[in-house]
Structure 1
Amino acid sequence: MIDRRAFLAAPVALAACGSGEAAVVPIERPVPSLKSIAPFPIGAACMTGQLSDRVWSNLVSEHFSQLTADWEMKMEYILQRDGSFRFDAPDRIAAFARDQNLRLFGHTLIWYAQSHPWFEALTGDRARFAAEYDRYIATVAGRWRGQVVGWDVVNEAVSEDGQGLRDCVWSQGLGGIDAYILRAFEQAKLAAPEAVLFLNDYNLENNPVKGATYLRLVERLLKAGAPITGLGTQSHLDIDIPAGQITVFMRELAQFGLPIHVSELDASLRDDGRLPDLRPRRQRIERQTARVAELAEAFMALPRAQQFAFTTWGVRDIDSWLRRGDKDDGQDSPLLFDAKGGANPMFHAAANAFAP
């Protein structure tokens, strides 16, 4: 019998070329169904425009068991300027997930980046602001009660540099940063008591200072009685962070004993605004796959009860937020599948870690 893990990890072949250098000739490797080999749900972010895309839907059916709405479950989409709600797009995603027997994950109830005009107009009236805050969470989290398995209740509360927490319309309207977070979790628990309730943030593996601030926030909120029942790390990975850094953070995160969600995985090959990256593409892919492999292995090392789900922020490279608008140079490959639905090297890195 062939050892699947060894087979998936097989190295690329080298062939001679005219320059005297070795050219990379990938060995054909099987593409196992991720959801069939992973002992936990495999998730992907989606938008309604992708639901009728046959290549996308076939990949989802084969490899994924959970969906997260990319932005159509966010306040930016749902809440209108007059305080009314629209649910057409998130309802379509919920129906698709139900029809395809996929778990549905809710993203996100409260996010600093979406300071909605409806709430901005109420910041001088704390009682009204609080009532509308509660109404929004109750309406949205309650709409898919029993279907949504978890919610990103508060998203990205820690500042960009990790030195503190973000002051925003929510903290201003409710009298403090901890106050708005605590209230959001209390209201989410009332509206969706069966769902796992997550505090979600990014750059936690990439920036140890930010990771430490996040961990202190979790500890403080739990001591204050916040019903946080899950921890979300987005995992938009910097491919150049030191080896081992992801593993260290995942171990620290696991100390709370709560379910952990790798909630928005991607790994850009671009320089992200720094000096031009002149390294060969092959070298950057090697760094990318090493970081993804480390993340997948660190997640696999968690106790089973803490493995909530492993989610990528999109399915194919062309679905990625990193490939939208002027960000798309056609070269970045941050996700598991290429534009045609073929498995990228980072797919095999994850599959090798998940294989029994």
Structure 2
Amino acid sequence: MLKDHYRLLICVLLMTVFVGGTAADAHPVQQNATQTIRQLADKNHFYFGAAASPTHFGDSKYVATLSREFNMLTPENEAKFCSLQPEQGQFDFRAFDKLMDFANQNKMVVRGHNLVWHQCVPGWLATGKFSRDEAIKLMHDHIYTVVGRYKGRIPMWDVVNEAIADGGSGLRNSPWKQFIGDDYVEMAFRFAHEADPDALLFYNDYSAEGMNAKSNAVYAMVKDFVARGVPINGVGLQSHFRVGEIDEAGVAQNMKRLGDLGLQVQITEMDDDYPVGSTAAILQQQAGDYRQLLQTCLESSNCTAFVTWGVTDLYSWLRTSNSGFSNPDVKPLLFDDDYQPKPAYDAVRDILARHAGEAPILTDDQVAAMSVAPEPAVVQVQLPPPHKTDLAQLAPDPVPGAAYYAPFPVTIKLDGKTDDWANIPRVTLDQGPTMPANNTTSMTFAVAADAKNIYFLADVKDSKVIYGKHDPLTEWYNEDSVEFYINATGDLTLTAYKPGVVQLGIPAANITNPAKPFVGGSNSGDVPVQVVAVNTDEGYRIEASVPLVTDVWKRVPLTLAKLGFQVHLNGASGDARDTKLIWSTYDTDDQSYMNPSLFGQLIFWRAN
């Protein structure tokens, strides 16, 4: 039913821009010519789009590729709040209108992105002192003005973007939540529907594509909206992936459960990055990722669009963003810097051709080659025999950057004091990939366990403890914070996260004693974490505990039993992180948040 509605929507939209013509007239398939993605997408009655910006319209190759290969475009930044309303009550539609004109001239559908977001908030709003009612009116007027201006011309909008905190721990602490409360999301959807009752309205987010704590939180929110009649039509799955890490089965399962609610899903921001060089093997595997994700979408009756976050690698946000991505030469899209199609281009065309009932573009052997992953760089840890420098120690000496022996059973009380940590080995962390000149920040940590929990202690030496400048659940790494990583899957060679691998980012903001601890990081919502944080004479101290039995792992402390383990320290002296200290010697470039094979080991040791 959704695909039938989608076909009707395509036809209506094409009729509005083709006066006296048809979609077939617009893009005739030439005999013996290579069919473009756009031509094959049209044959599937399917949207295949790209994020676009008029800042690149001076590049003739960019314009030609965008119009030739895609039947949909998404404004990359031109429709965001800070772009459209840089000053209160003063709207600037020039760039957005230029994009709209391009779409109209090239018979492309525009996917509106986005109306409400925690980023791209203009300074006047971010630093303003608005009451709840004032903030509601600001949001209402912005949505009415923007959606109303393009009513009947933009058939779908990302109404709210990235409202759920990483780990699925509720709504992130955005300016909108601070001003209005949790109901701002629902209000935004109601306002958008009032402004254009015919527009399809989407919630859009990242790291919620498969089955995990965050996608569960998204599902719970939209299920509640559907049950209460809040106008919502779909969920956008951003799909910023790393090569080889897409869980197609999990994505399909998530799409199905959203479809069971009567909701569409769309792949809205697809790119596929990697931290290493652009080898032929990497680009082949990348092609397999694109092919499999598109196939998953096409085979899901409620998946109605696939959008890449950009046209060419040349202008990819991954090369210019300050998000910490470490490969400035990454090639995450379908076209390279010279607009030459990459293996992923033919992979996309092949699955579109097959789905339309046409002859395959690739042979079965070529398709099979795309599923062969290059051999990952897996760290093999060789440890010396356990040794105690001090016989009073409850466990052997740690192996620098490689292994920590955690004594058990040890009675630990989370109270911010260290008297119960006596004779437990300490490790001092004072080196890392990012350190300011004359750095004086360091951390001493220790680990122990009892029959129920693993306990972490971190004593941070920092002359100026910074917190409260960023969201402590989603941007904790830009402030003073510690990170503990655990791989409890039993496979210490994993090169990608899966259930049982967690990154626990614990910010110094926990000093404020929140009702629920601030904990962020990949899969952090999968396990319960208890935290106590206190100021000290030299900085701050974190004590934390994680259960040995959770929904994603069941571990029993036995002598020499091993977990993957890693420790980081983030330090800030101003508005952003300027210090990054790392324990594991195998992680030289801050990649543990994506590659657990870079962890060291946590080895249980029966005390004495």
TM-score with structure 2 length normalisation?
0.49
> In the aligned structure 2, how far is the partner of 1:93 from the partner of 1:87?
10
Q: Tell me if 1:232 matches 2:236.
A: yes
Letter of the 1:36 counterpart: Q
Greater mean alpha carbon deviation, residues 143-152 or residues 236-245: 236-245
Superimposed CA distance per residue, residues 64-100 of structure 1 (whole angstroms, 9 cap, x where no aligned partner): 1111110011011111234311111001111111111
Letter of the 1:343 counterpart: P
Q: Tell me if 1:308 matches 2:304.
A: yes
Residue number in structure 2 paired with 1:7: none
Answer whether contact 2:157 2:200 (CA < 8 A) is retained. yes
> In the aligned structure 1, how far is the partner of 2:170 from the partner of 2:193?
26
Match of 2:199 among 189, 195, 198: 195
Superimposed CA distance per residue, residues 41-66 of structure 1 (whole angstroms, 9 cap, x where no aligned partner): 11111111122321111112221111
Distance of aligned partners of 1:237 and 1:255 in 2 relative to their CA distance in 1, 3 Å threshold:
farther
> CA offset at residue 285 of structure 1?
2.8
Letter of the 2:172 counterpart: R
Answer whether contact 2:209 2:239 (CA < 8 A) is retained. yes
Answer whether contact 1:51 1:96 (CA < 8 A) is retained. no
Q: Tell me if 1:69 matches 2:71.
A: no
Residue number in structure 2 paired with 1:323: 319
Q: Per chain length, whose mean CA-contact separation is higher, i.e. which structure has more relative contact order (CA < 8 Å, sep 6+)?
A: 1
Residue number in structure 2 paired with 1:337: 335
> In the aligned structure 2, how far is the partner of 1:124 from the partner of 1:84?
18
> In the aligned structure 2, how far is the partner of 1:90 from the partner of 1:69?
7
Answer whether contact 1:150 1:197 (CA < 8 A) is retained. yes
Residue number in structure 1 paired with 2:58: 52
Answer whether contact 1:83 1:118 (CA < 8 A) is retained. no
Answer whether contact 1:262 1:310 (CA < 8 A) is retained. yes
> CA offset at residue 31 of structure 1?
5.1
Residue number in structure 2 paired with 1:252: 257
Distance of aligned partners of 1:337 and 1:120 in 2 relative to their CA distance in 1, 3 Å threshold:
closer
Letter of the 2:251 counterpart: I
Which of the two has greater strand per residue? 2
> In the aligned structure 1, how far is the partner of 2:216 from the partner of 2:285?
24
Residue number in structure 2 paired with 1:265: 270
Letter of the 2:313 counterpart: D
> In the aligned structure 1, how far is the partner of 2:130 from the partner of 2:66?
46
Residue number in structure 1 paired with 2:289: 291
Distance of aligned partners of 1:104 and 1:243 in 2 relative to their CA distance in 1, 3 Å threshold:
closer
Q: 1:148 aligns to what SS in structure 2? A: coil
Q: Tell me if 1:205 matches 2:209.
A: yes
Distance of aligned partners of 1:192 and 1:112 in 2 relative to their CA distance in 1, 3 Å threshold:
same
Residue number in structure 2 paired with 1:215: 219
Match of 2:186 among 151, 158, 182: 182
> CA offset at residue 328 of structure 1?
8.1
Greater mean alpha carbon deviation, residues 236-245 or residues 64-73: 236-245
> CA offset at residue 169 of structure 1?
1.3
Letter of the 2:306 counterpart: F
Answer whether contact 1:69 1:105 (CA < 8 A) is retained. yes
> In the aligned structure 2, how far is the partner of 1:286 from the partner of 1:216?
36
Answer whether contact 1:336 1:344 (CA < 8 A) is retained. yes
Q: 2:242 aligns to what SS in structure 1? A: coil
Answer whether contact 2:209 2:238 (CA < 8 A) is retained. no
Q: 1:220 aligns to what SS in structure 2? A: helix
Residue number in structure 1 paired with 2:146: 140
Superimposed CA distance per residue, residues 98-118 of structure 1 (whole angstroms, 9 cap, x where no aligned partner): 111111111100002234333
> CA offset at residue 259 of structure 1?
2.2
> In the aligned structure 2, how far is the partner of 1:31 from the partner of 1:315?
19
- Residues 8-87 of structure 1 mapped to structure 2, 5 A cutoff: 32-38=35-41, 39=44, 40-87=46-93
TM-score with structure 1 length normalisation?
0.82
Give the structure with higher Rg (CA): 2
> In the aligned structure 1, how far is the partner of 2:255 from the partner of 2:288?
16
Distance of aligned partners of 1:264 and 1:74 in 2 relative to their CA distance in 1, 3 Å threshold:
same
Gaps of 5+ in 2: 1-32, 357-608
Distance of aligned partners of 1:283 and 1:58 in 2 relative to their CA distance in 1, 3 Å threshold:
same
> In the aligned structure 1, how far is the partner of 2:340 from the partner of 2:145?
40
Q: Tell me if 1:95 matches 2:101.
A: yes
Superimposed CA distance per residue, residues 219-246 of structure 1 (whole angstroms, 9 cap, x where no aligned partner): 1122232100122111112323246333
> CA offset at residue 173 of structure 1?
1.6
> In the aligned structure 2, how far is the partner of 1:125 from the partner of 1:74?
23
> CA offset at residue 121 of structure 1?
5.3
> CA offset at residue 323 of structure 1?
1.9
Superimposed CA distance per residue, residues 162-205 of structure 1 (whole angstroms, 9 cap, x where no aligned partner): 3322121112222x22x101100110011122211100111112
> In the aligned structure 2, how far is the partner of 1:331 from the partner of 1:116?
31
Distance of aligned partners of 1:227 and 1:49 in 2 relative to their CA distance in 1, 3 Å threshold:
same
Q: 1:266 aligns to what SS in structure 2? A: strand
> In the aligned structure 2, how far is the partner of 1:158 from the partner of 1:31?
42
Distance of aligned partners of 1:345 and 1:319 in 2 relative to their CA distance in 1, 3 Å threshold:
same
Residue number in structure 1 paired with 2:479: none
Gaps of 5+ in 1: 1-29, 271-276
Letter of the 1:295 counterpart: L
Answer whether contact 1:122 1:128 (CA < 8 A) is retained. no
State the number of aligned residues. 316
> In the aligned structure 1, how far is the partner of 2:326 from the partner of 2:177?
35
Greater mean alpha carbon deviation, residues 179-188 or residues 212-221: 212-221
Greater mean alpha carbon deviation, residues 48-57 or residues 138-147: 48-57
User: Once the two structures are aligned, what percentage of the paired residues are identical?
Assistant: 30
Match of 1:152 among 152, 158, 172: 158
> CA offset at residue 126 of structure 1?
1.9
Q: Tell me if 1:346 matches 2:361.
A: no
Letter of the 2:283 counterpart: I
**RMSD after superposition:** 2.2
Distance of aligned partners of 1:81 and 1:93 in 2 relative to their CA distance in 1, 3 Å threshold:
same
Distance of aligned partners of 1:282 and 1:247 in 2 relative to their CA distance in 1, 3 Å threshold:
farther
Distance of aligned partners of 1:244 and 1:308 in 2 relative to their CA distance in 1, 3 Å threshold:
closer
Answer whether contact 1:201 1:232 (CA < 8 A) is retained. yes
Residue number in structure 1 paired with 2:132: 126
Answer whether contact 1:269 1:285 (CA < 8 A) is retained. no
Letter of the 1:69 counterpart: P
> In the aligned structure 2, how far is the partner of 1:243 from the partner of 1:125?
44
> In the aligned structure 1, how far is the partner of 2:229 from the partner of 2:251?
29
Greater mean alpha carbon deviation, residues 326-335 or residues 36-45: 326-335
